[in-house]
């Protein structure tokens, strides 16, 4: 039997993405490129174990918002905000199986750009996201940020979270996403990473005494 993709080479493995048997070469070349590989695929999991970190040359400095400085003190003070926003990303991805890493990165990047524009120029203009799945991701993140501020107001009597802090949190997640994704068009490596952080229930985002430390770093 020949491979269901190339119809040339001999098939040697079952591909759950197409529910057919394919050759190892097509599996390697088309994995998360043309194939929407499910996370439970053993070949995908094996490939991720052996993948090398993406070289710095793969990244455009502008996509990482390098002008935004994020200190260790910030990640410590806002650990539960970062956990909450990460959970929001995980929740958005689980609600729509078509969402991939690129969608999360696009939504986060647009939010970073809008937030940065408002902070530097005072102009409140949001560049609209044209992809519905990306709008849904942004909505989940915005809702979690609002929840965080409401929880602060309830517990402290005031809100200390500034827009500049929101920008830093979003940039942190953008960098984390770029570092965790494979970079392939249909990659869900970052999403699977998020799923591993929150396998059962949402984190406590404002109660350090009740929630164990689970800070995730790029």
pTM of this prediction? 0.87
pLDDT over 50 (residue 209): no
Integer Cα distance of 181 and 195 in angstroms: 13
Residue-level pLDDT at 25: 97
Contact between residue 161 and residue 47 where contact means Cβ atoms under 8 Å apart? no
pLDDT over 70 (residue 204): no
Q: What are phi and psi of 72, to 5 degrees?
A: -60, -35
Instruction: Label residues 50-80 b or e (16+ Cβ within 10 Å = b).
Output: eeeeeeeeeeeeeebbeebebeeebbeebbb
Q: Mapping DSSP to helix (H, G, I), strand (E, B) and coil, where does residue 13 land?
A: strand
Integer Cα distance of 70 and 178 in angstroms: 16
> Is residue 216 classed exposed, middle or buried when 0-12, 13-18 and 19+ CB atoms within 10 A define those classes?
middle
Tens-digit pLDDT profile for residues 36-59: 999 999 999 999 999 888 877 778
Tens-digit pLDDT profile for residues 74-126: 999 999 999 999 999 999 999 998 999 999 999 999 999 999 999 988 766 66
Residue-level pLDDT at 206: 47
Tens-digit pLDDT profile for residues 8-38: 999 999 999 999 999 999 999 999 999 999 9
Integer Cα distance of 22 and 2 in angstroms: 7
At residue 2 the predicted structure's pLDDT band, cuts being 50, 70 and 90, is very high
Integer Cα distance of 154 and 95 in angstroms: 29
Tens-digit pLDDT profile for residues 158-195: 889 999 999 999 999 999 999 999 999 999 999 999 99
């Amino acid at each position: 039997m020949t491979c269901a993709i190339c119809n040339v080479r001999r098939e040697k493995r079952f591909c759950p993405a197409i529910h057919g048997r394919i050759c190892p070469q097509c599996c390697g070349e088309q994995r998360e490129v043309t194939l929407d590989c499910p996370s439970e695929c053993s070949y995908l999991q094996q490939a991720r174990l052996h993948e090398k970190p993406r070289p710095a040359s793969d990244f455009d400095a502008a996509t990482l918002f390098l002008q935004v400085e994020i200190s260790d003190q910030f990640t410590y003070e806002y650990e539960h905000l970062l956990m909450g926003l990460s959970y929001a990303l995980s929740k958005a991805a689980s609600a729509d199986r078509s969402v991939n890493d690129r969608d999360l990165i696009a939504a986060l990047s647009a939010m970073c750009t809008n937030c940065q524009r408002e902070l530097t120029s005072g102009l409140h203009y949001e560049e609209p996201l044209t992809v519905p799945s990306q709008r849904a991701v942004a909505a989940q993140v915005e809702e979690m940020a609002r929840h965080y501020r409401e929880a602060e107001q309830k517990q402290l009597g005031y809100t200390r979270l500034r827009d500049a802090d929101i920008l830093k949190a979003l940039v942190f997640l953008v960098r984390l996403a770029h570092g965790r994704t494979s970079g392939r068009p249909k990659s869900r490596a970052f999403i699977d990473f998020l799923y591993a952080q929150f396998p059962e229930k949402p984190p406590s985002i404002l109660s350090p005494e009740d929630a164990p430390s689970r800070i995730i770093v790029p």
